[in-house]
Every structure is written in structure tokens, then in C-alpha cells.
Amino acid sequence: MSKKRLLPVVVLNETAWAEPLAEALLAGGLDQIEITLRTDAALDGIRAVAKKFPQMRLGAGTVLDAEIIPVLKDIGVTFLVSPGVNPKVVDAAHEAGLKIYPGITSPSEIELARSLGCESVKFFPAEPLGGVKMLKALVAPYGHTGLKFVPTGGISPETCPDYAALPEVEAVGGSWFVKAGLMKEGKWDEITELTSEGLKIVS
């Protein structure tokens, strides 16, 4: 994830959006995606992307239950993202050989994630929690450990550069360039353009 440093956080309302979305992201220079498990279309969308675009580094977000993880691995998911630190989910991810980014909001949750063997965590929801200022405060006691952070939640093109400037940030997660409205209206060229611009922001 650190090679491109930009992670599209996708809420997929229609399975039919999955392939053109992946194609638009790749055209913009981005070969990784997180499809959140918040909709009925998510799993079929993940399957479609995995089948047609094997070069795409494919992640599943909003992973709440350990039982779904073997299914996700079988359909081509290579990394997992969760909103919080659930030991059962983290253990199942490690057992499946998948990297997981559990969500954290505090030092105590960082400690828990580290105790479970996590090398990276998701700072979520980033902007409501205090943005870059809060992330810097969290990074301070842990930067020397090599722990990496992926901030997501309310980040915009305007705030993204401040997150990307932190060396402890592995990637910045955002949805401004993959909004449901853009997909619904079939604005794939606009998604490609916004993706390309986003990559310039984090580089």
C-alpha cells in the first residue's frame, strides 16, 4: 500500500459499478482498492474485480466478523480493513495470511493492535477525531516502533497533503474520488482524473 500511498474507500451500491470503477482507477495509475462490506453488492463486486483485474491489490473493508475472512481470501482479497480492533477478526486475518488494518482512535487501542501482531493500523474516523493534529499526537509515542497508520474518514483533497506529509502514514484513505454519485452517473473519466490528481497529492 505504501507504494502508491492512496487508498480508495469504496461503498459499492451496484455490482455493475465494480469493473468500470477498477478500470478507471487503473487508468488513473492506482492499482489498489478497498471495497467496504456495507452493501449487498460488495462481495459480488469484489469477485468481479478479482476475476477481471488480477493486477489490482484488492481489499475488503468494514470486516466485522471472523467467519467471513476465509470467504474473502478465496475470492481474491489480499488485505482487510476493520473499523475497530476485534481480536477474533485480527487473529482470523493472521491465520488466513492476510494483512489487516484495524481501526484505532486511542493509545489503548494501538496497544491492543500491537499486542495482536499488527504492524499497521487505520486511524478512523480521522477528521472527526481531530485530523492531522490528533494523528500526530498518536504517532509521537509509537513512531520509533515502525508502526504505520492509514488515516481515513472525512479526508478531502485539501486535508490529504497534511496526512501524506507524515512519514508514519502508509497511505491515505479517501472516498472523494470514488463517490457513489460519480459511479451512479457513470463518470468514470472523472474518477480517473481525480485519481491521478490524488496520486500527485500523496507523492
Binning pLDDT at 50, 70 and 90, where does residue 88 land?
very high
- What domain count does the chain have? 1
The verdict on residue 201 lying in a domain is: no
pTM for the model = 0.96
Contacts of 10 (CB under 8 A, 6+ apart): 21, 33, 34, 35, 36, 61, 175, 178
The verdict on residue 153 lying in a domain is: yes
Residue 12 pLDDT: 98
Tell me which residue range forms the domain holding 76. Answer: 6-196
The verdict on residue 151 lying in a domain is: yes
DSSP class of 98? -
Q: Is the Cβ–Cβ distance between 100 and 122 less than 8 Å?
A: no
Binning pLDDT at 50, 70 and 90, where does residue 22 land?
very high
- Terminus-to-terminus CA distance in the chain, angstroms? 13
Read off the CATH number of the domain in which 80 is found: 3.20.20.70
The verdict on residue 44 lying in a domain is: yes
**Mind listing the pLDDT tens digit for each residue in 120-135?**
999 999 999 999 999 9
Active site residues: 34, 122
The verdict on residue 81 lying in a domain is: yes
The verdict on residue 20 lying in a domain is: yes
